[in-house]
Every structure is written in structure tokens, then in C-alpha cells.
A and B are shown apart, each in its own frame.
Chain A
Amino acid sequence: MKKHIITSILYTVITAVLLGIVYPLAVTGVARVLFPKQAEGELITRDGKLVGSALIGQAFTGKGYFHSRPSNAGTGYDASASSGSNLAATSKALIDRTQASVTAEENGTPVPVDLVTASASGLDPDISPAAALYQVPRVAAQRNLPPKLVESLVQQHIAQRQLGLLGEPRVNVLELNLALNAMAAKD
């Protein structure tokens, strides 16, 4: 018994250093050399200012922007408090919230479901291509841009399934809106 206690303590301390310090530092070192941008979160800067990460969603609610999905991370897209709604399919709160979003988004046809439901992380950077195309008339009207032009911008931002098979087609909302701003600035 005594022998096992001594071995346990020594074993815990020594392997803690190996697995808890050496291993993560080694991964950090290799990552910094091979993939420096990815290791730091694919941060996006505009005019020297940090405006977000290509992987993390941001809230957009104005009529002139493509909207992100509803979010339960903090007060919305708080990337230091990721969370889903965790509401059940039979939850009255879920149905009320969804129907309120439907009222806000709808343009005469049924709203794509991902646009009115909250993501798991509350930080979903994407919406479906259907949800992006659905918003084209509103964004184009608000910005006085030809709908065809805005639609082609959306088409350019559709990311297809990875390796042609994995995941779902999607549109990164932050990148799409930044491109929209850039296009508007050029005009």
C-alpha cells in the first residue's frame, strides 16, 4: 500500500509535467512554425483594426447587412461565453422566439429554418446559401444596389462541401458583409 502511494505521487507529478506542460508547449511550438495564422484564430484586420475572426460569427441586425442566426452566447455572439439555447422542441419560449424572428425576416415566402434558429455555439459564423439568398432583396433595396450584383456576391461566398463530400454548403456572414461594405465603398 505504502509503495503504491509513493509511486502514485511520483508518477502523477512526473507525468503531469510531461502531459500537462511539455506536450502542449511542443504542440504550440510546431503549430506556430507551420500554421501561425490558424493557431491564432484566423483574425481579420481592416485598416489596422481587429474586426473579428473568420471562424467566429458576429451579430448583424441592420437592414443593409446580411443577418446572422439568433445567438445565445452571452447577449449575442459573445465569443467569451459560447452557448446554445438548449430549448426543447416543445418549449413555448423556443416557438415564441422563432416566430418573432420569422416576423422580422420574412419576405413573403417561408423563411429558411437556420436563419430563425439559434446555433449550438451561439457563434456560428455561417448561414445556409438559402438563408443568404433569401436576404438579397432586402439588402439590395436598403443599399440601393442592383439585386443581381448582390446575388452574385452571395454566390461568390458560398463554400461548398469540404473535399466535395463533408459537411454542408455554407456562407460566412462576416466575410460576406465585409465584402459588401468594400463593394459599397468602391461605388
Chain B
Amino acid sequence: MSLNGWLQILLFIVLILLLAKPMGSYMTCVFERRRTWADPLLGPIERLLYRMTGVDADHEMRWTEYALAMLVFSGATLVLTYVVERLQAVLPLNVQHLPAVAPDVALNTAISFTTNTNWQSYVPESTMSYLTQMLGLATHNFWSAAVGLALAIAFVRGIARRESKTLGNFWVDLTRGTLWVLLPISFVFAIALVSQGVVQNFRPYDKATLVEPQTVTGTDGKAQTVTTQTIAQGPVASQEAIKMLGTNGGGFFNANSAHPFENPTPLTNFLQLLSIFVIPAGLTVTLGQMVGSPKHGRAVLAAMTILFAVGVVTCYWAEAQPNPLMHNVDQAHTQMQPGGNMEGKEVRFGIANSALFATVTTDASCGAVNAMHDSFTPLGGMVPMVNILLGEIVFGGVGAGLYGMLVFVVVAVFIAGLMVGRTPEYLGKKIESYDVQMSMLYLLIFPLIILGFAAVSVLMPTTGLSVLANKGPHGLSEVLYAYASATGNNGSAFAGSNWNTHWYNYSIGIAMFFGRFLMIIPMLAIAGNLAKKKIVPESAGTFPVTTPLFTVLLVSVIVIVGALTFFPAISLGPVLEHLLLHAGHTF
């Protein structure tokens, strides 16, 4: 650990908190259909789009219709991606002449990108053509993020509206989120990335002549001489920008944001970090403004910031520790080297930026990585895992983080009500049994999918266990992380294992699908039910949701729910591995 490392982390937190207000106020204007500076340019495009697709922008939807429109649209986009993947061999912009993507991989990927997960069981640079990346995958980075944004706004309207049957219009929210928020920021961000060296071209892969030819052991076990290096290219920057901003995380290349063409400099790394959190942080301000209680928005933002800080401090500390099993290796931090656990990390990012990135990408449902989580120390790798298991509500994915957090808010208010012995209220709305039932359904579906699939996988020696890259408790961590990442729609992985098998492609596909859509239904049901309610006047017995006390209660509820659910699994994975590492065990 170094002073410079802490300063970089501190700078990041400060900038995010400063950006939250302008970003949030802008989004309030966008979704309340107020005037913005971009209207002269985007207004005509918006109206043209509605006319061509038959959308009545003034039509208001009940929660059921909102959910239906969202599901049908997600289905249509899923089909498009599947078709493009299967037909890529005969479509243009396939400069490397790649064959069609195999059916199970294509389906897994289509679900993965539709659900904002971006789990990748394939190596992109040798599987996906440029057209597939642009038309099949990058489009989803916009759509799935805009869908998440729309859903969060619908939930906020449910809280804000009184005696109303409707939550807004899905198509309008989707369109305004895409055109006013995601597209303009992505465009500017993409150009900024190119200026630092993120590639953006349609060249065939380049072939360089090595300065020093190498003798290597080939896959067949025989020595061979390598004289050239094939350099993968592509339209990377345009995809990279929305991959981060939309908290999608699916890399153009296998190594994701560790690849020098995706993330060449410390500055691109810092911008990518900011772009993951900027919309989720802004949404807490939007929440406060739309429900008429900016202080409530700040209380939620404070809870997120506390949970984030705990995660990043733990992860940075753990990764800066030396590996006790390595001998005659200088692992100390000095002015001349980052030191610490450098396996699976890039020199330009060192320890601080790798730990920060791992924390941010899993607090949000991003899942991009600039270091390999699989090679983190046991406790360092536990941080991203726990972040996902808590539900990715610490800032969280675009939209999904806010509505996930608001479900915890409902539970926290309910528990506060139980403690003082009166009907709980949330911003003037009585929280009744239906709301709590739906919240609990939301909170229970999640661990059920993760622990269920993980348990089945580890009971199958051939199908489940043989593909794992590491043995011992770390193997359990790999399986647990995979289903957590899938169900939480994160997409990062303890990536060493060969997840590209029929069992994992299909089971992880199901986990991603249910982890997204099965959880959205109860969430929208709560929103629809809240919108219908009357406002009860505040009284002395009302538990305020704007105070530090509320923030502490919210954090406690999140931690307790997470710990009660996942502690046994965590103790058999990372905790046990940590103890064995320091007892000198290898596997």
C-alpha cells in the first residue's frame, strides 16, 4: 500500500460524489420530459422513432403493461443477437473469416448480453466478427442499460406518484435514456479513449515480425519457432465506451479492460472507473428529486459510499500483501515497483488501480476487469464476490442498482416499523404485507438460483468439477463466483475454468435469465402497488428516511441479509483458502 495508491482511490470517490449532482439533475430533466440543451438535435430523432415504431408517447402504462413491453422488447433483441451470431460467416465485416458461433455459445451469449450480464464463455477475438461485436453485442450494451434505467425510473415513479395506476411509458423511458443519456456520453467518451490509444478500425489483424524470434512449446508439446505476432484489431473504442457506461462489462477482447487496446493508460483506466459509477451515483440524486426528498437520495448515496469504502480498503490491503509461498521474490512496495500480488495484474495499473477496479466493477453490475480476479489473494478475491452476493446495490448497475437498493430500503423501513411497533411508512406510503412479500421474493430468488446451481455443479465430478482450473477451496470459489456473477448479471469471473461446456453454457444462461427477469417482476409489482397508495401525513412515529440513523440501518440490513444467506458458502471458499495459504498448503 502506498500514499499514492490511497490518493488515487480518494480522488475517485471525491469525483464520483461531485459528478452525482449534475448527472442526477440532468437525468431528472430527461425522464420528466423537461427541456434540455440537447432537445434541438435529439427531439426530431425521438419523434421520428416514435412515428416509425407506432409509439404513443403520451400513453401511460400500468406496471403489468410496462413489464410486458420490457419482456417483449428484450425477447426481440435477444433473437437479433442470436441470428447475427449464427449467420456471421455469411454477413459482411468478417475480416478474419470466422465461422458461425456454435448454438450453445450463441444462446448463452445472447442471454448474457440481453440481461446486461456480459458473461463470456468464448474468446472474442477468435470467435466474434466485427459485425457481430457491433450489431449483436454493442447494441445490447445500450439496450440493456437503457432498460435498467427505465425500470429504475418506473420504480421511482411508483414511490413518487400518489393514487395513480400507472408508472410511465416504457418506450419513452427507453428512448430518452438511450438518446439523451447513453449515446452522447458514449460518443465523447469513445473519442477520448481513442486519443489515449484504444483502437477503432476495421483492419484485418496485423502481423508483426518479432524483434527476437522465440522458441516455444506448442499445444502438441513439440518445440516450435515463433517469428511473428498476430495483433487483433477492431472497432473497440465505440464498444468500450458503452461497455463501461452501461455497466455491461463484456470485453471486445478476452482479457477485457486488462488488454492494452481496451485500456492502454492509467488515464483510460481512471475514466473507465468513473464511467461505471457516474450514472448509478447520479440516480440517487434523481431519486431524491423525483420523490421530493433530496435528503433521502443523499442518505441512500451515503449508504452506498460506506459499503464501497469498506470493500476497496479491504481489497487494496489484501492485494498489497506478499504471497507467503513465493521465495527469493521481492514483493515489497517501493518507488520503483508496485510489489504485492502481481499475478494477473498489469504493471501500468499496479495494485491500487487493480483493487479499485475489482471493487467498482462488482459493486456495480459491470463485470469488466483490468486484473484477473481468479488470481487475487483469497481475501482480495472475496471482496468482489461479496459485492456481487450483496446484490450489486453499492451504486450498482445502471438502473438495476437503484431498484435493488430500493427493495432493501423497503425492507429496512419495514424492520424499523417492527422495532417501534407501528405500521411502517416509506415517504408517506404505508408499507403493507404485499410490499414486504414481494421484497422478500426479490431477495430470496437471488440466493436460491446461486446456491442451487452451485450445489448441483459441485456434486457432479465430471460435468461440474473437472472443468475447474484450481483445486481445493478455490475451486468452490470459482463455481460460487460463476453463478453469483451470472445471477447478479455481473459477468466477471474467476475465469480460469473452462466454462464453455454444455452444462455451464445452459445452466449459467438460465441463471442469467432468471436473475434478471424473475427479479424484475416482483420489483415492478412493488412499484405498481406503491403508486396506488395514498399519502399519510407524517407524524411523530414516522421513521425518517433522511437521517444518518436511516443510513446505518440500511447498511446493517444489507450486511445482515447477505451474511445470513452466504456466510457458510464464503467460509468454505475464500476464508478456508486464506487459512490454508498461510498454513503453507498448495493444491
Q: Report A's interface with B, CB cutoff 8 A.
A: 1, 3-16, 19-21, 23-24, 26-28, 30-32, 34-35, 38-43, 49-62, 65, 69, 73, 75-92, 94-95, 98-99, 102, 106, 109-114, 116-131, 133, 161-163, 165-170, 174, 177-178, 181
Q: How many pairs, one residue from A and one from B, have CB atoms within 8 Å of each other in the complex?
A: 405
Beyond the given A10-B52, A28-B238, could you list 10 further A-B residue pairs with CB under 8 A, ordered by the A residue number?
A7-B171, A19-B139, A38-B197, A52-B211, A81-B126, A87-B469, A113-B337, A120-B372, A165-B7, A166-B270
Kindly state the separation between the CA atoms of A96 and B360 in the bound complex, as whole angstroms.
32
What is the minimal beta-carbon distance from A95 to any residue of chain B, in angstroms? 5
What is the minimal beta-carbon distance from A34 to any residue of chain B, in angstroms? 7
B231 adjacent to A79 (CB under 8 Å): yes
Kindly state the separation between the CA atoms of A31 and B218 in the bound complex, as whole angstroms.
38
Q: Which of B197, B233, B337 contacts A128 (CB 8 A)?
A: B337
Kindly state the separation between the CA atoms of A109 and B203 in the bound complex, as whole angstroms.
45
A167 adjacent to B266 (CB under 8 Å): yes
Residues of B within 8 A of A169 (CB): 335-336
A31 adjacent to B191 (CB under 8 Å): yes
Q: Which of A26, A52, A102 contacts B327 (CB 8 A)?
A: A102
Kindly state the separation between the CA atoms of A54 and B201 in the bound complex, as whole angstroms.
17
B255 adjacent to A83 (CB under 8 Å): yes
Q: Which of A21, A38, A65, A81 contacts B135 (CB 8 A)?
A: A21
Can you give 30 A-B contacts (C-beta < 8 A)? A19-B183, A24-B138, A24-B200, A28-B202, A41-B206, A52-B210, A57-B260, A59-B212, A79-B232, A80-B126, A80-B231, A84-B375, A85-B343, A86-B470, A86-B495, A88-B375, A90-B472, A90-B587, A92-B587, A98-B326, A99-B326, A111-B329, A112-B329, A113-B329, A117-B345, A120-B258, A121-B259, A131-B337, A165-B7, A168-B350
A34 adjacent to B191 (CB under 8 Å): yes
B76 within 8 A of A: yes
Kindly state the separation between the CA atoms of A41 and B236 in the bound complex, as whole angstroms.
11
Residues of A within 8 A of B68 (CB): 1, 4
Give the contacts of B44-74 with A (CB-CB under 8 A). Answer: 49, 52-55, 68-69, 72-73
Taking each of A31, A99, A181, which has the highest tally of chain B beta carbons within 10 Å of its own beta carbon?
A31
Contacts A19-B138, A87-B374, A89-B375; A9 near B76 (Cβ below 8 A): yes
A168 adjacent to B344 (CB under 8 Å): no
A120 adjacent to B337 (CB under 8 Å): no
Q: Shortest 7 CB-CB distances between A and B: which pairs? A: A167-B266, A86-B496, A120-B258, A168-B350, A82-B255, A121-B255, A166-B266
Q: Which of B390-398, B447-455, B522-530, B578-586 contacts A (4 or more CB under 8 A)?
A: B578-586
A80 adjacent to B371 (CB under 8 Å): no
Contacts A24-B235, A28-B238, A87-B374; A40 near B203 (Cβ below 8 A): yes
Residues of B within 8 A of A4 (CB): 68-69, 72-73
Kindly state the separation between the CA atoms of A65 and B211 in the bound complex, as whole angstroms.
10
Residues of B within 8 A of A91 (CB): 470, 474, 586-587
For residue B123, which residue of chain A has the nearest CB? Answer: A81
What is the minimal beta-carbon distance from A82 to any residue of chain B, in angstroms? 4
Kindly state the separation between the CA atoms of A57 and B212 in the bound complex, as whole angstroms.
12
Residues of A within 8 A of B191 (CB): 27, 30-31, 34-35
